Structure 1
């Protein structure tokens, strides 16, 4: 069927039900609501249908039928993304293919420290099942109770453990993918070394579903940490946070799994979302660091952290702080980090960013960007936090409460332009870990070197010549040859 041919919505829904008999298919607006809106409910769209296959073969059948019906496909995992990468934008000609029913761990290999899993496995549930076998998958996100591993792979998700374990890409040994023509590519290879030519799986990691639908993942695992130590410390400046990280990187070596920057406003934002959340340190200091060390075997992680912090306090680099005495206290400290995101959402519409800058310039970037935004928009509040060690800064801007949506949007747009201009002066990236999606597509394309755009476009056109797979995500529909 060509692009000029048309079927009415009801006819397409009928054919989908008949040809995909036995597959759960949602067509009612109420049933589809959570699949066609973003995580923060800022955008609500629609779709011809939501298809919920239960196997790779069913995904392939759905893709082939959508092609026959001239329907575009929006692949979707847990729909927890922040850049509109899994939200339809053309309801009359798009279907959502949700992987949520594909949620089984297919195989665990304890001796190889690997596992093969369905793409629809919820991250936290999968990690819990692996922990029962004393194995550890390091990806840790605020949305891990809802996000799915296929989406994590497709966005090359980051999280708090990147400085030790790397991005999701570093933990992927192999993939199974349904291509835009319905072909199943089985690359579920669990080898640690395989140098047989081009590594095809890398094309799909971070592609955000634009080249195919990830249906299975072979994961590299690690021994489950038996010792986890968490500390929250106060420092005198952003520069001191960077200095402390450098010392921790040397003194604690590869046992450091997380090092997070928090601003003083983190505490009030977290308590807005979790009113009874205890705050173990004073909020009077300019900057804070949340540090986690983890390990197993014969290493004494608690002693290492204690000696490191003792030296930092003797040098007056750390001014105050607390070390969690139990897993419950550690969870309470981490709740501050995650709760501040919920607090910002409760505040209302605001600018969210996912910047990446060279680590040595992180403090200077935050200082310069916040100063520029505050000068132009004195009634807005800047909230900067992120993953020290991989240069990932989330510089968010909260407009004052009580404004109309148009007034909020005006401030959000202006603050984004100001922040992006500072970012480009620092030669940074607009996406450290969230991806491009549709939200950042225009900025991404505008600053993409011609050679990069040409290569990406050629790959897209070669695998998806009809531009049917997640169109408008990452690249505009006009950007491909």
Structure 2
């Protein structure tokens, strides 16, 4: 028997075993049908899988992993396929199985007294938000892709979003998880407890592991009281350091009511106005930087006055140049559409070298000045599209290349500009991945910026849980 015949027979045997577990509706083998699972939404990463498996429950997921483990078949776990770092895309070998979790989309329980919701990993983030609201509760994780991303993907990447400033990222919004290990064992860690000091925190080990240690199949998530009042403002300022001072003022005067503080440079806003329809510029003149600020509370009384007085003080001391507080839902939605339209505008405007970085808030202004100058020396025809969740130190410091830039030039520039930006981030004790994950995009760079001890600890954990290296190979580490 030739090696080709052996490979075909092995694949046939694998499909037969998996069909017995998940049935015909749970296995996709056709080349055209598989394609949607083999390419990411950015059209940046693509590969070829041997097949796509879609289990309907935890037990089926466990059986699938047991079979793949026994056959040494590599597995790429995939949720909504909305990632930014290529972490859910198979390689070109054709040997990897894509494990799609989208059939596991049941909301198992809402416990209003305990303020928790238990969901399977394939539930869309937007559906969790809607179910929470139906129960007069609030699930604060909010992303631009919330209508298509799954909570499993959010957990795998420890997603952030626009409400981290008040509520924390996905890890902080999670009480317990259920995980299928690489060998098919099930760890039921679905504990709805806020205090549990009975050993190592296994939950946090799997959250943010990008599918390299196991398959998260369900989670117990924290709910919060549903805010009934919001006050939202759009601000123009002369520089980022002025916004840093404004963040401090908002925290001091508004406390936990401050739930979002988003920053956008003039270049970012102008890009949206050029490429996104149905948006209007909120102010009467241009400003070097802008902020979108939102307060939320249970009582509208005094909320707008609190925000207004904070902004008036900032105007008086020169930290901001102009501001407008939304007077209607439509005006608030326009503010947010500008902010959320930046990613879409970048795709339409050209080729972007993306940087998802985290810095101490006190270091942001100096970093932006140094990085902008350094990139200008390296690539004079590039545009800096700098925006992000400045309230929690997360910037999307992106470099927009001219639309006519060819692939070879783009590849060369990406490597050199990444090093410029990330070296400066590292010098400021920051992180080269804040909320998008490492995936395959930042894997090799991680080795440059992590210490030998840290990398060794990560590899020890990986080897212990996944000795055959079948979980999402080529990603993260």
TM-score normalized by structure 2? 0.95
1:268 maps to: 270
Query: Tell me, which stretches of 5 or more residues in structure 1 are unaligned?
Result: 476-481
Equivalent residues of 1:23, 1:53 under 8 A apart: no
**Structure 2 CA distance for aligned equivalents of residues 44 and 400 of structure 1:** 24
SS in 2 for 1:443: helix
**Matched residue, 1:174:** 176
CA drift at 1:333: 0.7
Residue aligned with 1:389, SS: helix
Please give the secondary structure, in 1, of the residue aligned with 2:109. Answer: strand
Cross-structure match for 2:88: 86
Q: Which residue does 2:56 correspond to in 1?
A: 54
The aligned counterpart of 1:7 is 7
CA displacement, residues 387-412 of structure 1 (integer Å, 9 cap, x when unaligned): 11221111100111222222222222
Structure 2: tracts of 5 or more residues without a match: none
- Offset of 1:349 from its aligned partner? 2.4
Deviations 1:63-118 (A, max 9, x none): 11222333111011111111111111144210111111111110000111111111
Higher share in helix: 2
Which segment is superposed worse, 72-81 or 292-301?
A: 292-301
3-state SS, counterpart of residue 395 of structure 2: strand
Alpha-carbon separation, structure 2, partners of 1:422 and 1:195? 38
Q: Partner residue of 2:193?
A: 191
Q: Give, in angstroms, the shift of residue 18 of structure 1.
A: 4.5
Deviations 1:18-53 (A, max 9, x none): 453244211122212221112201122110111111
Q: In the alignment, which residue of structure 2 is the partner of 1:315?
A: 317
Q: CA deviation at 1:163?
A: 1.2
- The secondary structure found in structure 2 opposite 1:40 is coil
CA offsets per residue over residues 410-464 of structure 1, 9 Å max, x none? 2222221211222222222101111111110011022221221121111111111
User: In the alignment, what sits opposite 2:391?
Assistant: 389
Cα distance in 2 between the residues matched to 1:241 and 1:346: 28
1:478 is matched with which residue? none
Match of 1:148 in 2: 150
Native 8 Å contact 1:383 1:396 kept in 2 = yes
**Following the alignment from structure 2 to structure 1, what is the Cα–Cα distance between the partners of residues 285 and 369?**
19
CA-to-aligned-CA distance 1:120-172 (integer Å, 9 cap, x gap)? 11001210111111111111111111111111111111111111111111111
User: Which of 418, 423, 443 is matched with 1:421 structurally?
Assistant: 423
Q: State the distance in 2 between where 1:446 and 1:234 align.
A: 38
The residue aligned with 2:330 is 328
Q: Is residue 399–residue 412 contact of structure 1 (8 Å, CA) maintained in 2?
A: no
Q: Is the 8 A contact 2:178 2:188 kept in 1?
A: yes
Report how far residue 341 of structure 1 moved.
Answer: 0.8
Q: Give a deviation string over 1:270-298, Cα, whole Å, max 9, x none.
A: 13442231111246211111101001147
How many residues are matched?
A: 473
- With over 3 angstroms needed to count, the CA separation of the structure-2 counterparts of 1:298 and 1:338, relative to structure 1, is closer
Give the structure 2 partner of residue 237 of structure 1: 239
* Structure 2 counterpart of 1:458: 460
Quote the offset at 1:14 in angstroms.
Answer: 4.3
Q: Which segment drifts farther, 220-229 or 314-323?
A: 314-323
Q: Report the Cα offset of residue 10 of structure 1.
A: 4.7
1:340 maps to which residue?
342
Alignment-derived partner of residue 47 in structure 2? 45
Question: Counterparts of 1:78 and 1:422 in 2: how far apart (Å)?
Answer: 33
Structure 1 stretches of 4+ with a deviation exceeding 4 A read none
RMSD between aligned alpha carbons?
1.9
How do residues 250-289 of structure 1 correspond to structure 2 at under 5 angstroms?
250-282=252-284, 284-289=286-291
Please report how far the alpha carbon of residue 331 of structure 1 lies from its aligned counterpart in structure 2 after TM superposition.
1.4
Q: Which of 81, 84, 99 is the matching residue for 1:97?
A: 99
In structure 1, C-alpha distance between the alignment counterparts of 2:278 and 2:299, rounded to whole Å: 36
CA distance in 1, matches of 2:196, 2:24: 39
**Counterpart selection for 1:471 from 467, 470, 473:** 473
Structure-1 separation of matches of 2:211 and 2:462: 11
Query: Which residue in the other structure is 1:402 paired with?
Result: 404
**TM-score for the superposition, normalised by structure 1:** 0.94
Q: Distance in 1 between matches of 2:382 and 2:414?
A: 9
Q: Work out the CA distance in 1 between the residues paired with 2:297 and 2:93.
A: 48
Deviation at 1:317, TM superposition (A): 2.1
Structure 1 CA distance, aligned partners of 2:330 and 2:6?
Answer: 58
- Distance between the aligned counterparts of 1:303 and 1:283, measured in 2? 24
Separation in structure 2 between the aligned mates of residue 345 and residue 391 of structure 1, nearest angstrom:
24
Q: Confirm or deny: 8 A CA contact 1:270 1:335 kept in the other structure.
A: no
* Residue of structure 1 in register with 2:120 after alignment: 118
Alignment of 1:201-220 (within 5 A): 201-220=203-222
